Structure 1
Amino acid sequence: MFKQGWFIKGILFMLLSALLLINNNVQATSLWNDNSESIFTDDKANQVGDLLTIIIKESTTASQQASTDASQSSQANVGAGSGILNFIKAFGVNQSDTNSATGSTSRSGSLDTKITVQIVEILPNGNFKISGKKHITINSEKQEVEMTGIVRPNDINADNTIDSTYVANVSINYEGKGAIGDKQRPGIINRILDWFF
């Protein structure tokens, strides 16, 4: 009975030792990333290659008016000649010049879309240089949006979106090609006449 107790204790000791040796090789990694801002939200874009969505709501309106009114008048009177110049009669000259012109121009445009861009460079001050393109074809009409700019990490929302008004040095190029775009373009004769005049 005494030997059986030692035998069972010996087996338990060996099992415990084996478990401790095996347990030393097991390493657990945390589910929590130290760089994450919250365990309840997605990570914000913060590295080259990360994506973020720009919400473009741009509207521009420009108008200019100019008017010119210029007038000038002059008057000269010469008296009659005397002596050997008595054949010259008295005369007067009046001259006036009036010039007036008006002109105005106005232009407006708006663009409302979303585009997903990529961080292409992290600047020394921590801001992100972004670039992206979007091509859409609907009924043989091609629409292309290209965008570049610089964003501050603090302006990026928790869902990785940013308003286009917060993008610095922004360049947005929107172009449409197709039957409708071709109809809006002036004809070749109009373009030639515009070139001459």
Structure 2
Amino acid sequence: MRYAAFALAATLALSACSTTPVGRAPAFTPVDDTLEHRAMATPTFPEDLAPRGGTTEASLWSGGRSSLLGDRRAGQRGDILTVVIEIDEKAEMRNTSARSRSGSENMGINSLFGLPGQLPAGVELDPGVGFDSSSESEGTGSVRRNEKLELRVAATVVDVLNNGVLKIQGSQEVRVNFEIRELLVTGYVRPADITRQNEITYDKIASARISYGGRGQITDMQQPRYGQQIVDKVLPF
């Protein structure tokens, strides 16, 4: 009974390492304590409603962001913008190398302590030592990649640097049955690169980090088990 209880406890401990709970769908990541939530919850400086030129606050053409012609692009902490990810890249590389080398060495001995006179007929000391070697190697390698990804995700301005550059971070999770699709994006953008539609493409994001994956039953089945991964790390061959 003791061994059975130990085996059951070990099985439960290993099953707890799985990302998908038994009989239940994977849970969403909490959003209450993220950088996006804190950025939107922190109050910013009040906006000056009085436009330039001496007009009053009752004017129909005020310069505020909430006016008809105001600039509503993201520009301060807590604002939201859309990140457009359209990756269509292809790379192909091929390399071939060949190398060969051959060499030979011969060394002769005409006489050694009078031995030629004492040797039987037909036996000579020349050549005394001979070496002959050759080596040849050939290698071929190729790399071929093709990636295509089209996504859109809402990101939040989590910080404004001293030079005006915006730090953004966005996440999106969609659950279908027992599988969650995750999309994460973070990086730095210039306010001038944000379009009038409050969008920015991924190629204008500095230090961009884009992650597209998932977790759930299908993802668990596609990954090697923990024991196999440990064995692959330990074995030298």
Q: Same fold (TM over 0.5)?
A: yes
| Shift in Å, 1:136 | 1.0
Q: Give the deviation of 1:31 after TM superposition.
A: 4.0
Deviation for aligned residue 1:132: 1.1
Q: CA deviation at 1:62?
A: 4.3
| Among 198, 202, 209, the residue aligned to 1:171 | 209
Q: Secondary structure at the match of 1:104?
A: strand
Are the structure 2 counterparts of residues 49 and 79 from structure 1 closer, same or farther at C-alpha, using a change threshold of 3 Å?
same
Aligned counterparts, 1:23-102, within 5 A: 29-36=58-65, 39=68, 43-79=72-108, 81-82=110-111, 84-86=114-116, 87=119, 88-90=125-127, 92-102=130-140
**What is the aligned-residue identity percentage?**
33
| Change in 2 beyond 3 A, CA 1:148/1:158 | same
Alpha-carbon offset, residue 131 of structure 1: 0.9
Q: Unaligned 5+ residue runs, structure 1?
A: 1-26
Aligned-residue offset at 1:156: 1.4
Number of equivalences: 171
Quickly say closer, same or farther: Cα 1:181–1:61, change in 2 above 3 A.
farther
Q: Does the 8 Å contact 1:42/1:159 carry over to 2?
A: no
* Offset of residue 56 of structure 1: 0.8
Residue 156 of structure 2 is matched in structure 1 by: 118
Unaligned ranges ≥5, structure 2: 1-55, 120-124
Post-superposition CA distance 1:64-98 (Å, at most 9, x none): 44444222211112335336242525364321111
Q: Does 1:128 align with 2:170?
A: no
Q: Any idea what SS the aligned residue of 1:180 has?
A: helix
Whole-angstrom CA distance in 2 between matches of 1:69 and 1:139: 54
**Could you state the TM-score of these two structures normalised by the residue count of structure 2?**
0.60
Larger radius of gyration: 1
Asked if the contact 2:63/2:70 (under 8 Å) is kept, the reply is: no
- Name the amino acid aligned to 1:127: V
> One-letter code of the match for 1:130?
I
